[in-house]
Amino acid sequence: MTAIISGSVAFDTIMVFKDRFANHILPDQVHILNVAFVVPEMRREYGGCAGNIVYNLRLLGETGVPLATVGADFGSYSDWLERWEIPQTYVKVLEDHYTAQAYITTDLDDNQITAFHPGAMGEGHQVKVPTDYPDPIGIVAPNGPDAMVQHAGQFHEAGIPFIFDPGQGLPMFDGDALLRFIDQATYVAVNDYESRLMQERTGLDLEGIAAKVDALIVTRGGEGSWIYTGGERLEIPAAKAEQVADPTGCGDAYRAGLLFGLGRGLDWRTIGRIASLMGAIKIAASGTQNHHFDLEGFRARYEAEFGEDLPV
């Protein structure tokens, strides 16, 4: 199995403000807002949906192929991917761009102010979906809008089964565009909020969306997830996390679990549990690519969590 991942590759610069924004932003003065926050804590993380998914797949012993465009500042991230033996054949460096980056400042109440620069991500359509990998499976994750449209069409034309995972990119598309994605996709994966927005824009309820694909996956945070397939809805329990440190990237870890299970030909009940456990492992670590395990350790955790052997 080769997983081909269309999605963003980005740097996340995360800063902690040791106070509360509410103490410095006056509600009646926001029309002339001019504030500066001293942030004694800062870290730079490797992120982006494609980067996070391929990293999680690597932990499971699988190799994912990211399709992405990055900027001239990509060097340290490239070294990180090389360290994990993640191929960069279809990661295109655009020397006149910056790599996509998010600047996130969090206060003591966990409020966040974020600025996002898409940079090279907006040129993701310059990379084409490869068709020469054995037993491929794909995913269209949040990326530049043109790249999402193009890669979905290319997966479909090549007969490569793929997951449509619009994520935070969903608001960029109207109902007709979303229906085209659904018609092309083999599977659809959304969180609860995204599922509501997708229903509103397409005019289809969850059962209607599920009828168009092999499976519709709806993640529901601590309440687990639903998998609609074969005319029924499977209830997937949430795995227990050792601690709740940082939810950022949990959805990407979950999707890596989906790709892993699909590539191994497992049943949906097992696939959902694998994905659930991946999310629980990720949420216990700060940052999106700072958790570590190997497949043997994952097997042991799966058995302890669900009381059954992982059948791989």
Q: What is the pLDDT of residues 184-241, one digit of tens each?
A: 999 999 999 999 999 999 999 999 999 999 999 999 988 999 999 999 999 999 999 9
Looking at domain 2-18+44-306, its CATH class is alpha beta
CA distance 283 to 291: 9
Structure tokens belonging to residue 222: 């601590």
Instruction: Report the percent of the chain where pLDDT is more than 70.
Output: 100
What integer pLDDT is reported at residue 174 of this predicted model?
98
What integer pLDDT is reported at residue 32 of this predicted model?
80
Can you give the chain as a three-state secondary structure string? CEEEEECCCEEEEEEECCCCHHHCCCHHHHHHCCCCCCCCEEEEEEECHHHHHHHHHHHCCCCEEEEEEEECCCHHHHHHHHHCCCCCCCEEEECCCCCEEEEEEECCCCCEEEEEECHHHHHHHHCCCCCCCCCEEEEECCCCHHHHHHHHHHHHHHCCCEEECCHHHHHHCCHHHHHHHHHHCCEEEEEHHHHHHHHHHHCCCHHHHHCCCCEEEEECHHHCEEEEECCEEEEECCCCCCCCCCCCCHHHHHHHHHHHHHHCCCCHHHHHHHHHHHHHHHHCCCCCCCCCCCHHHHHHHHHHHHCCCCCC
Lowest mean pLDDT among 10-14, 67-71, 213-217: 10-14
Average confidence score pLDDT of the chain? 95
What integer pLDDT is reported at residue 153 of this predicted model?
98
Q: Where are the domains of the chain?
A: 2-18+44-306
What integer pLDDT is reported at residue 109 of this predicted model?
83
